[in-house]
Amino acid sequence: MIGKLKGVVDSYGGDFVLLDVQGVGYEVHCSARTLQRLPKPGEPAVLSIETHVREDMIRLYGFRSDAEREWFRLLQTVQGVGSKVALGLLSVLEPPQLASAIAMGDKTAVARAPGVGPRLAARLVAELKDKAPAFAPIDPALIALSGAVENRSAPQPVADAISALVNLGYAQLQASAAVAAALKAGGEDAEAKVLIRLALKELAQ
């Protein structure tokens, strides 16, 4: 099983890079984001590899980091997500962003990936939300707040403040983060209008 390849970029295809490793050319399929960040032909590159073996085919998938590869694997544990959809998700969202979106229940962000409709986005969030926080570089309190809003157990002023910010055009993740900061500044008993004012101040920084 191939776990890593270190070689020289030979050329690029639509969704793959041909990596020359000591004279052997390996066709490695990657997310659009990974392909964009690889060097020009003739320059060295290193990729973490996931190998898929079928009766009629062996296909290599390449990643710039082990974290990206772990997400590729994790995403495919969800029904309806194959390698193509997983790469699509990683093309739209980097691993920390993907982890944060799932941890925060931001189905809209997840649904931006090609092949991911609202139903699949909801399934991804539901099935991976308990695993995502370990990968997410965000405050656990913010994750808890987002979960409370999703479950409709958040205090009404908090829910109203987040809803108001979303209606103003801010993403759910941005709104939740700003209100979480506003709660720290204004206190747990702050009214919605106070939270909105403090959150807008936070977003303006």
pLDDT in tens, 109-136: 899 899 899 999 999 988 988 777 555 5
Which range marks the domain in which residue 75 is found?
66-135
Taking CB atoms within 8 Å and a gap of at least 24, the contacts of 16-20 are 17/45, 17/47, 17/62, 19/45, 19/47, 19/62
Q: How confident is the model at residue 96 (pLDDT cuts 50, 70, 90)?
A: confident
Is the same domain home to 84 and 125? yes
Q: What is the pLDDT of residues 136-155, one digit of tens each?
A: 555 555 555 555 555 555 67
Is the same domain home to 72 and 94? yes
Give the amino acid at 89: L
Which segments within the chain are labelled E, that is strand? 4-12, 16-21, 24-29, 44-54, 57-63
What is d(CA 82, CA 102) in angstroms, rounded to the nearest whole number? Answer: 18
Considering its fold, how many domains does the chain have in total? 3
Residue after which a domain boundary falls, among 90, 106, 135: 135
0.75 cut: is pTM over it?
no
Is the same domain home to 122 and 87? yes
Residue after which a domain boundary falls, among 12, 34, 63: 63
What is d(CA 7, CA 1) in angstroms, rounded to the nearest whole number? Answer: 17
For residue 40, pLDDT over 90 is answered with yes
What token pair was written down for 114?
């090609």
Is the same domain home to 177 and 197? yes
- 37 versus 159: the higher-pLDDT residue is 37
Is the same domain home to 54 and 80? no
What is d(CA 95, CA 118) in angstroms, rounded to the nearest whole number? Answer: 20
